[in-house]
Homo-oligomer: A and B are copies of this chain.
Amino acid sequence: MKTLVEIAELLGGTLRGDGSLVIERVVHPAMVEGPRDIALVLSSKVFPLVESKGILAVVAPQELAEVNAPNAILVDRPRFALAKLTHLFELPVHVDEGIHATAIIDRSARIGANVSIGPHCWVGPETVIGDNCRIVANVSIGRDVVLGTDCVVHAGVRIGDRTRIGNRVILQPNVNIGGDGFAFVTPQKGSVESVRESGSVKNYNNEIIRIHSLGNVVLEDDVEIGAGSCVDRGTLGETRIGRGSKLDNMVQVGHNVTIGQNCLIVAQVGLGGSSRVGDRAVIGGQTGLPDQMSIGEDAVVYAKSGIVSDVPPGTVVAGIPAITARAAKVREIHIRRIPDLSAELKELKKRVEELEKLVEGGK
């Protein structure tokens, strides 16, 4: 419960109207139900809605100042305002307080202060759960795991043995941390090796031997991982995700991968074994990064890219195979020019024929 003037201050915005108005919820204009709802207006398309519903209070960007609501807070960077507003009126996931009677906590595990662990969770031996963690339901946490403070572990998350997790980490539902890496070898040279050497299949994978994963996963502070994503453990060393990096749903992080700090990795991206992602890199959805390859610091990779060589720091790449976004645009223009080229060539051929006739005739 906040007054409009308090919200305006928090947002650093300009208040118009009655600052003493009390607000309890921030919602989309379509979902305003009562006088204690404030609506976020991000487009003039919702102006009619604001009027017809008689919405009392809105937050809007400066350029939509003409919005017709009796009370308004005008802000410079509406998306940043949205972050602050949603923080103010956050609705944290429900977990009953304390350790649920059905939660199985190994005797040798250590549970911090003010921790909530919901129904049907399992915490394995020697595992340490930091203060204020909230573990929703049906979660499995293996042996010798360290979870920092203030983490939120949603329902169905799996955390494998020896995982190290920092503070304020958020794991969305059914996240898989610490599955075994996909690492196999044939006793003799295999088909992929022969393709690498000669371009064709000259050897056969008649036997496939497993390389066991003895390493672990490290998630640094403030990491967030989306629903269903998988982070495999290292073979001998770590798979590491740096401080503040955010992964969307169903992202695949192979064994021995290193992701830097403050990266943003959109849904369904696949990062092959031992690949590296530099600090602050942004990777669009459904992109694939092969084994061993790297994406540099601050690089921006468009969605659905197929990386085929290291991406230098600060570059913007796109396409399959991924090239700079500028080059990809030019490439596309060139492809679209093929029909013209074809027509021009045909026409030129006729002119040459004509010339040939003339010249031949003139001989």
Contact = CB atoms under 8 A, between A and B. Distances in A.
Interface string A224-249: 10111010101111100000101011
A201 B299 contact: yes
A180 interface: yes
Main secondary structure of the interface of A (DSSP, over half): loop
A148 interface: no
Contact of A210 (B224, B315, B331): B224
A156 interface: yes
B349 A262 contact: no
Contacts of A356: 351, 355
Copies of this protein, total: 3
B306 A304 contact: yes
A174 B176 contact: yes
A230 B230 contact: no
A80 B185 contact: yes
A182 B246 contact: yes
Interface string A284-297: 01101010000000
Contacts of A130: none
Contacts of A151: none
B316 A205 contact: no
Interface in A239-279: 244, 246, 248-250, 252, 254, 262, 264, 266-268, 270, 272
Contacts of A321: 332
A112 B180 CA distance: 26
Contacts of A206: 262, 280
Interface stretch (A2-10, A13-21, A64-72, A132-140): A132-140
A334 B345 contact: no
A173 B91 CA distance: 27
Given A90-B214, A156-B176, A182-B266, 6 more contacts: A40-B236, A90-B212, A119-B140, A120-B138, A320-B320, A334-B342
29 contacts: A26-B236, A27-B237, A28-B235, A28-B237, A79-B185, A83-B184, A86-B211, A86-B236, A119-B140, A122-B155, A138-B139, A138-B158, A140-B173, A156-B156, A172-B180, A173-B178, A179-B226, A184-B246, A199-B316, A199-B325, A206-B262, A207-B262, A270-B285, A286-B288, A303-B306, A335-B338, A341-B341, A358-B363, A362-B363
Interface of A: 25-28, 30-31, 40, 77, 79-80, 82-83, 86-87, 89-91, 93-94, 100, 102, 104, 118-120, 122, 124-125, 136-140, 142-144, 154-156, 158, 160-162, 170, 172-174, 176, 178-180, 182, 184-187, 191-192, 195, 199-201, 204-215, 224, 226-228, 230, 232, 234-238, 244, 246, 248-250, 252, 254, 262, 264, 266-268, 270, 272, 280, 282, 285-286, 288, 290, 298-300, 303-304, 306, 314-316, 319-321, 325-326, 330-332, 334-339, 341-342, 344-345, 348-349, 351-352, 355-356, 358-359, 362-363
